[in-house]
């Protein structure tokens, strides 16, 4: 982008400035500590064309909607349409959650995102001994197709898109969703949405695994293959870096390990015999957004470029849609402080701003009270309004990729890209993502970053407002959202009735068939659909697979 | 005479998968000279107490970020008492509303450490409050 002569001049100019003007300032007032990004990358005082001398505009940045997609996957990005505003929500019963959805849709939210309680995610019914105390706590208590009917009552499934955070049990919940849509008269090919279906990051860091890696990957690919054939508008996986970052990774590690997972899924789909351009356009991603705006923007841009290169060069994709990194973002839950919780509104606003400048497809903004409890309705409203303010008022959306060409942002983008490729190379050398996970490599890298971060907070080297600096005495926050323990008792009674009133013979036949099909190479999805229609619960379907596939017991790695 | 090492069980009760804090503290406790056993995820109160018994632990540290502390934490204390392990110091941490803390303390949890607590505070509390057998 710069000619040799100009670059030489700038290099000489910067040297002169460093030794002259800057040195004079520093001699009077030395900088107290080294400056870094929030992830710990050292940052210089000043960036000039000299630090981005290799910035070949046409090849590295190009144009939005075109390879390598550094500047965005759509030509005009938010000028045409804002991102989908999609708040992750669910608590208590299906009925309470349905009321929250209808409230959010009434407030201008444009997509749904289902939070299931942990028993559903771990494949247990609400009355299982391991579900004790958990029912309805961090999501809606969903056990069977009847619950899904209530969850989407009066919500037309051909009009909204829905995201479902469920992984090891993804096939079961998608089967229920598709069946309820069918009851509403909506055809499979009219359904739009996303299912997380990313079991690798459950093993790495999120903990909602059920089966060992191999069979759980088989279920993942079964779902992808089924959607590719019958639910073409559905994003059949959401490869997630969000939880990797929450667990303590740096920004570059978040992207590197997520892309490594993406490679593993793409390889698994290819091994199934699905052509790359048949599955890759429906691979979607999910990332975090922290408060260091410029680092986050660089991270998103770098990841888009890396994914495009990998799909083109490594997987030989031809369809441009296969090369587009499309992603959902959630603001950083772990960045929220329990101290002075109103400060979190500012953090979320900056994270939203970073996300918009980075060019995403959909967003969940956290509520300011989430370091204390599940969000109250008032706090959710502020979170949604934050998105609306950034979209409508901030100026971030009037032009595409507005930070392109910033020497600092381009420098960071290149640096993060290089870090991602370094990790991919290392993981390839180990034998691939699954091996790297089995050996605990990825887990230990993340834990080590979490440790270094904690040390920097404990020592005061890094300031965290309200935590280790600008602290104050404050009264405990009251009026928190509480989920009544009664939800568990009521659900247990309801489940008993559900099991009593279903056609027992049809139910047994469906589960027997599922058991047999699961032992073969046949795609399980059609059989799962039959089973949930016959009244099988999440726990019952997952139990069949526990029997056939066994259960995953992780090795614990403490770095 | 060399001081006996404090032995601590770090445990994740219930289905909660948020283990950043539990793993981080496991490392911090080890660096502070304690002997650490991390149970991993999905522990029932019975499993945690069994681990405390088997390992002859001085301390049990419970971590919960999914709102199940009021159910699980007192249950662990109760079972420890049943097993005649009332001397074991029980501490907890995670996403726990301040207004829940008095009830948890009354149930026998010695201290609750919320988000943002410095690790020195946690280590310091354990060293000062661990009971000799």
Q: What is the pLDDT of residues A122-136, one digit of tens each?
A: 999 999 999 999 999
Point out the residue among B15, B20, B115 whose CB comes nearest to the CB of A118. Answer: B15
Mean pLDDT confidence for A523-528: 98
Provide, rounded to the nearest whole percent, the portion of chain A with pLDDT above 90: 92
| Cβ separation B115–A371 shorter than 8 A | yes
Q: Which of A166, A253, A190 is nearest to A541 (CA)?
A: A166
Mean pLDDT confidence for A30-45: 95
What is the token pair recorded at A276?
A: 């790359």
Fold of A63-447+454-458: TIM Barrel (3.20.20)
Chain A residues within an 8 Å CB radius of B67: 137-138, 373-374, 483
pLDDT of residue B1: 47
Size of interface A-B (CB pairs under 8 A): 107
What is the token pair recorded at A48?
A: 């000039």
pLDDT of residue A502: 97
Chain A residues within an 8 Å CB radius of B44: 129-130
What is the token pair recorded at A12?
A: 């000489």
pLDDT of residue A374: 84
φ, ψ dihedrals at B59, nearest 5°: -140, 145
**A516 pLDDT higher than 70:** yes
Tens of pLDDT, residues A416-447 = 999 999 999 999 999 999 999 999 999 999 99
Fold of B7-125: Rossmann fold (3.40.50)
**B17 pLDDT higher than 70:** yes
Question: Å from B45 to nearest chain A CA?
Answer: 10
Tens of pLDDT, residues B31-77 = 999 999 999 999 999 999 999 999 999 999 999 999 899 999 999 99
| Cβ separation B71–A483 shorter than 8 A | no
d(Cα A206, Cα B66) in Å, to the nearest integer?
13
CATH 3.20.20.240 positions along chain A are: 63-447+454-458
Tens of pLDDT, residues A62-80 = 999 999 999 999 999 999 9
Q: Which of A128, A134, A141, A478 to mutate to test the interface with B (most CBs of B within 10 A)?
A: A134
Tell me the average pLDDT of chain A.
Answer: 96
- Which residues, 6 or more positions from A38, have their beta carbon under 8 angstroms from its beta carbon? A251, A290, A291, A292, A295
Chain A residues within an 8 Å CB radius of B71: 132-133, 485
**pLDDT confidence bin for A479, thresholds 50/70/90:** confident
For chain A, give the number of residues: 559
Q: Which of A92, A478, A556 to mutate to test the interface with B (most CBs of B within 10 A)?
A: A556
**A558 pLDDT higher than 80:** no
Mean pLDDT confidence for A310-330: 98
A71-to-A67, A286, A372, A409 alpha-carbon distances in Å: 9, 18, 37, 12
DSSP string, B4-54: PPPEEEEE-BSS----HHHHHHHHHHHHTT-EEEE--S-B-HHHHHHHHHH
**pLDDT confidence bin for A372, thresholds 50/70/90:** confident
**A471 pLDDT higher than 80:** yes
- Helix, strand, coil shares of chain B, percent, nearest 5, are 45, 20, 40
Chain A residues within an 8 Å CB radius of B18: 207, 246
Q: Are B114 and A338 in contact (CB under 8 A)?
A: yes
Mean pLDDT confidence for A366-388: 92
DSSP string, A269-326: HHHHT--HHHHGGGEEEEEEE-S-HHHHHHHHHHHHHHHHHIIIIIS---SHHHH---
d(Cα B110, Cα B94) in Å, to the nearest integer?
15
Q: pTM of the entire structure?
A: 0.96
**B128 pLDDT higher than 90:** yes
Chain A residues within an 8 Å CB radius of B121: none
What is the token pair recorded at A203?
A: 């093993």
**pLDDT confidence bin for A42, thresholds 50/70/90:** very high
d(Cα A307, Cα A413) in Å, to the nearest integer?
14
Tens of pLDDT, residues B63-117 = 999 989 999 999 999 999 999 999 999 999 999 988 899 999 999 999 999 999 9
| Cβ separation B14–A467 shorter than 8 A | no
Point out the residue among B23, B114, B120 whose CB comes nearest to the CB of A558. Answer: B23
Q: ipTM of the assembly?
A: 0.94
Extents of the domains making up chain B: 7-125
What is the token pair recorded at B52?
A: 């405390």
| Cβ separation A457–B118 shorter than 8 A | yes
Q: Are A54 and A410 in contact (CB under 8 A)?
A: no
Mean pLDDT confidence for A31-35: 90
Q: Are A477 and A369 in contact (CB under 8 A)?
A: yes
d(Cα A287, Cα B5) in Å, to the nearest integer?
42
| Cβ separation A458–B120 shorter than 8 A | yes
Q: How many CB atoms lie within 10 A of CB A294?
A: 18
Q: Are A69 and A115 in contact (CB under 8 A)?
A: no
| Cβ separation B16–A207 shorter than 8 A | yes
Would you give the distance in Å from CA A203 to the centre of its chain? 15
């Amino acid at each position: 982008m710069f000619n040799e002569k100009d670059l030489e001049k700038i290099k000489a100019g910067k040297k002169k400035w460093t030794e002259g003007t800057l040195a004079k300032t520093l001699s009077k007032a030395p900088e107290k500590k080294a400056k870094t990004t929030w992830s710990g990358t050292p940052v210089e005082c000043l960036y000039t064309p000299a630090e981005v001398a290799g910035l070949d505009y046409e090849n590295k940045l190009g144009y939005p909607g075109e390879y390598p997609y550094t500047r965005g996957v759509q030509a005009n990005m938010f000028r045409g349409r804002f991102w989908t505003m999609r708040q992750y929500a669910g608590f208590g019963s299906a009925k309470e959650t349905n009321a929250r959805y209808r409230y959010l849709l009434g407030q201008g939210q444009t997509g749904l995102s289902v939070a299931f309680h942990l028993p559903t995610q771990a494949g247990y019914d609400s009355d299982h001994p391991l579900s004790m105390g958990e029912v309805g706590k961090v999501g809606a208590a969903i056990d069977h197709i009847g619950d899904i009917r209530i969850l989407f009552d009066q919500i037309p499934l051909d009009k909204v898109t829905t995201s479902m955070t469920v992984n090891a049990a993804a096939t079961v919940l998608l089967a229920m969703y598709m069946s309820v849509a069918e009851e509403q008269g909506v055809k499979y090919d009219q359904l739009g949405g996303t299912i997380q279906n990313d079991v690798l990051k459950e093993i790495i860091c999120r903990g909602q695994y059920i089966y060992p890696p191999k069979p759980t990957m088989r279920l993942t690919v079964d779902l992808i293959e089924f959607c590719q054939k019958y639910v073409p508008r559905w994003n059949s996986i959401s490869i997630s870096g969000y939880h990797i970052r929450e667990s303590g990774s740096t920004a570059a590690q978040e992207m590197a390990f997520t892309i490594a997972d993406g490679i593993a899924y793409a390889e698994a789909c290819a091994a199934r015999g699905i052509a790359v351009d048949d599955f890759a356009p429906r691979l979607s991603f999910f990332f975090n957004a922290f408060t260091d705006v410029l680092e986050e923007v660089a991270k998103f841009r770098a990841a888009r470029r890396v994914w495009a290169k990998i799909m083109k060069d490594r997987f030989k994709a031809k369809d441009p849609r296969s090369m587009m990194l499309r992603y959902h973002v959630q603001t950083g839950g772990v960045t929220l402080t329990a101290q002075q919780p109103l400060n979190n509104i500012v953090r979320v606003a900056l994270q939203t701003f970073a996300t918009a400048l980075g060019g995403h497809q959909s967003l969940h903004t956290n509520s300011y009270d989430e370091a204390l409890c599940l969000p109250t309705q008032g706090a959710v409203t502020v979170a949604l309004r934050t998105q609306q303010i950034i979209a409508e008022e901030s100026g971030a959306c009037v032009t595409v990729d507005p930070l392109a060409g910033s020497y600092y942002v381009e420098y960071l983008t290149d640096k993060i890209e290089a870090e991602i490729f370094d990790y991919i190379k290392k993981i390839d050398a180990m034998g691939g993502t699954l091996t790297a996970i089995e050996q605990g490599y990825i887990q230990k890298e993340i834990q080590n970053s979490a440790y270094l971060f904690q040390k920097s907070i404990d020592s005061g080297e890094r300031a965290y407002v309200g935590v280790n600096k600008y602290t104050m005495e404050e009264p405990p926050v009251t009026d928190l959202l509480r989920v009544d323990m009664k939800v568990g008792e009521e659900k247990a009674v309801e489940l008993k009735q559900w099991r009593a009133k279903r056609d027992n013979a049809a139910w047994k036949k469906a589960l027997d068939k599922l058991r047999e099909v699961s032992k073969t190479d046949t795609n399980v999805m059609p059989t799962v659909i039959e089973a949930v229609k016959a009244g099988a619960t999440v726990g019952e379907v997952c139990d069949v697979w526990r029997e056939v596939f066994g259960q995953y017991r992780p090795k614990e790695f403490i770095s | 005479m060399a001081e006996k090492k404090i032995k601590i069980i770090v445990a994740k009760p219930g289905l909660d998968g948020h283990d950043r804090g539990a793993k981080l503290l496991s490392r911090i406790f080890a660096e502070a000279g304690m002997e650490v056993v991390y149970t991993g995820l999905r522990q029932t109160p019975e499993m945690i107490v069994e681990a405390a018994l088997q390992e002859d632990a001085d301390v049990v540290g419970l971590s919960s970020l999914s709102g199940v502390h009021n159910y699980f934490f007192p249950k662990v204390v109760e079972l420890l008492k049943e097993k005649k392990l009332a001397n074991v110091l029980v501490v907890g941490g995670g996403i726990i509303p301040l207004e829940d803390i008095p009830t948890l303390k009354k149930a026998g949890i010695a201290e609750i450490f919320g988000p943002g607590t410095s690790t020195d505070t946690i280590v310091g509390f354990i060293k000062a409050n661990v009971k000799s057998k």
